[in-house]
Amino acid sequence: MALQAGIVGLPNVGKSTLFNAVSNSAKAQASNYRFCTIEPNVGQVDVPDFRMDKLAELVKPERIVPTTIEFVDIAGLVKGASKGEGLGNKFLANIREVDAIVHVIRCFEDENILREEGAINPVSDKEIIDTELQLKDLESIEKKVARTEKMAKTGGDAKAKAELEVLKRCQAHLEQGKNLRELGLSKEEKQATADLFLLTEKPVLYVANVDEGSLHTGNKFSQALEAAVKAENAQVIVMNNTIEAQISEMEDPADKEMFLSEYGLKEPGLNRLIHSAYRLLDLITYFTAGVQEVRAWTIHTGWKAPQAAGVIHSDFEKGFIKAEVIAYDDFVKYGSESGARDAGRLRIEGKEYVVADGDVMHFRFNV
């Protein structure tokens, strides 16, 4: 599943530095001038998971295949982007294509790094981007309202009338300067706007890029940001993107561990970011474990066994018969698939089984 989280923010807030740190497959150019990133960079990133390492320790497979998530480094936004200022149209089109947003906000002072917006103000920076996304969504909503009103009037279409009610609620919400993800539309109501790929409906995760001294406690800027997004029920991750980029370049595990120790860190902040982005996309992991490979597979929360099987191959879903399931904790407790089976902890599940995070599974199918 090539699900994507787009890294966004104003120019020179540390977006590309973060992308360089988080990406295992690509390096973005990080320079101190506007619009350094023009075409979006895409990096596929392994999702760290201690459970996969433990399974591999028990099974001793020929190879280990982690699951992945894609991060997209999108051009820096400026005020007026919704009207085409700077690279606004390109920026907004790129955001439209991602599944979730990682919003990087500058929470440090450094006179050597350009800033056109004046004094450091993370709340204002957040609002600049929010406003541009809201204006673009409002433009899309208004166009569809006009079309839907005609359909509702001329045909007396019940579906059009129901859609119009949802669209007008969205319009009023945006006109109040609020993001649509705060509106709480039901799954059915969201169908009215599904074809618009609205920007402020996407889930968001905030990264407060702080100075080294604020790495553990945050600072007045990150604290102001946390207070500002409290109503959104959004998570704020405090990081120093430059330090994370340095850690990511270290190949020797001992060097990395020593570097982390110097900064009093147990693990890279990137691990927290990747896990948070994964959860933000409402994803979970199940595993297949055998002598050839231990592999992690990404699915959405709530998927049933046949859908999960389809991630491996479409034939698995089409011809699904049963799934052999061992909970991760049981697999580890009894040391192997055979040990779990002997203890009566291997279950046979059918088409209605909802896969749990960490399940170790094998599928029976017939095509």
Tell me if 123 is assigned to a ligand binding site: no
C-alpha span between 261 and 338 (Å, rounded): 40
What residues form DSSP beta bridges with 8?
103
Tell me if 285 is assigned to a ligand binding site: no
Token pair of 69 as six digits: 């998530």
Half-sphere exposure of 225 (CA within 13 A, CB side): 27
Tell me if 20 is assigned to a ligand binding site: no
Residues in contact with 173: Cβ distance below 8 Å, sequence separation at least 6, in sequence order: 180, 182, 183
Tell me if 155 is assigned to a ligand binding site: no
Query: How far from 103 is each of 210, 236, 237, CA to CA, in Å?
Result: 14, 9, 10
C-alpha span between 206 and 100 (Å, rounded): 11
C-alpha span between 136 and 83 (Å, rounded): 8
Query: How far from 238 is each of 202, 258, 269, CA to CA, in Å?
Result: 21, 21, 8
Residues in contact with 120: Cβ distance below 8 Å, sequence separation at least 6, in sequence order: 106, 107, 108, 109, 221
Tell me if 217 is assigned to a ligand binding site: no
Tell me if 102 is assigned to a ligand binding site: no
CB neighbours (10 Å) of residue 23?
22
How is residue 270 annotated by DSSP? H
Binding residues: 12-17
Binding residues for ATP: 12-17
